[in-house]
Structure 1
Amino acid sequence: MKTLSFAGREMPVIGAGLWGIGEGIDAHAQRRALDAAFDAGLVLLDTAEMYGNGASERVAGAAARSARAQGKDVFVVSKVLPSNARPQLMRTALTRSLHNLGLDYLDMYLLHWRSTADLALVAQQMHEFVQEGLIRHWGVSNFDVADMQELLAVPYGEECACDQNLYNLANRGMDHDLMPWLRDHHIPLMAYSPLGDGGPAGTRVMVNNTEVKKVAARHHASAQQVMLAWCVRDGNTLAIPQSANPEHLVQDFHSGSLELDEHDFAALDSAFPAPTSKQRLAKL
């Protein structure tokens, strides 16, 4: 299993995203999938206060507590809405998320997107949360290069430990500038929707692509496993696919052991070319 340095520890390159719970995805099914994935070695869970109005956090917390009781070192990520990214509101939001999770601290707390949030105030508040032991690390989501540059220029901005963004074969605009920038600054990327853009059409485009199928056949793997292995190819990316199917989530996790070669990458690049100029950051 490939790993990367993430928030001060070696982390498997595949985690689990928990978007959609309470909004169409059955919580019991998701819990069964997570338990199976933990047994396979999965470590990281990604949730947010806005996912199902706290329903996702409750599932993540219950799963994490159970796994930790079995000696598994689960890493929990949640996110604060930009509308709550103000000093007092942010503390209230974090307290509510910890209550939903049933945890004393978060391993990683992210600003969900930029909006009108004051980055200096956000960094200051995040720093205070770390000092108080309420969170261990913090980062951001849906930040492009200019946003990251502005963040690193404010006090405590250099503590940012992650940038989470939409990234997959069909949405690879970040390859032009953001991905190299993050690598140069030793900030890992957490790739959400690595198997699609949240809709079936985007997923089908990749899964049904001829080159993706050929690469999968050469490796006796699924198309989804190839897509995930491609996503984490640079050693600075952790992907968080979502699935409430135990078999699928375990297969997703094992994608971190799939080794693609230069011929595979060339075939995938021919089907989904890298950008040749700056692209607008893709978001959901």
Structure 2
Amino acid sequence: MKKTKNTKQLNKNVQVVSTPSVLVISAHADDHIACAGTLLKLKDMGYAINEIVLTTSEEGRDFRDPEGDYNVAELRSQELSKASEFLGVSNTFMFGEEDLNLQYSKELVFRVVQIIRTLRPRVGIMHSSFDWHPDHRAAFAISSEAFKMAATGIQPEKGDQWRTPVVIAAEGMLPVQPNILVDVTAYAQKKLTLWKIYESQAKPKAINFEESLMQVRGYHVRRPGSFMAEAFTTDPTSPMLLFDDGTNQKEVECDF
């Protein structure tokens, strides 16, 4: 896993690959669990995985020792490193914002914009706007605007504009009314193994929740052999651009 905090030095620090890529924008160190089955599936399809983690996750104490004297942010970062290696993440960007106090700001939006324009992902995955945690809702606002702003000519010093064709929001701690399902039957056990890497957060109840949710969504697939799935919603302010490889994004003259 390659990490960088300094988004001003992106071209020097980031591993940019020619293969298609996905960019996940998470509020906390373990939030990619929500879409881990999909990420594993995309990885097998040849996609490079990149992630932005917006906060230090310092409020998520170890459930096994909630009163212990330890550096929570450091512990969460160590778990993230192990989990990202398991997932095969190419680049992880740690923004270091305060946990439980993530706020929408123009500065944060355009830090994300610079990464989007550098990596030029085919798929963007973000939090749902409808979720229990306030940082998740703030992360949705930041991510949604960043994906849209990256496609405009605003702040050209942040890189050439890029329209991410598919931007979706992962189901979180509150069930959503999904309009996208991804069959992750073949990846369910690896997802649960990934969850257990986050030893400080992997309460048995949390693991059971994730497994049960995959089973419910797997039932909704309604296809023989499909037992586990992950659910997503779309962003109504950013329609998906389907059947497009994302390569033809240069301005051209036209007659209308």
TM-score > 0.5 by shorter chain: no
Higher helix proportion (structure 1 or 2): 1
Q: As a proportion of its length, which structure holds more strand?
A: 2
Tell me the TM-score normalised to structure 2 length.
Answer: 0.32
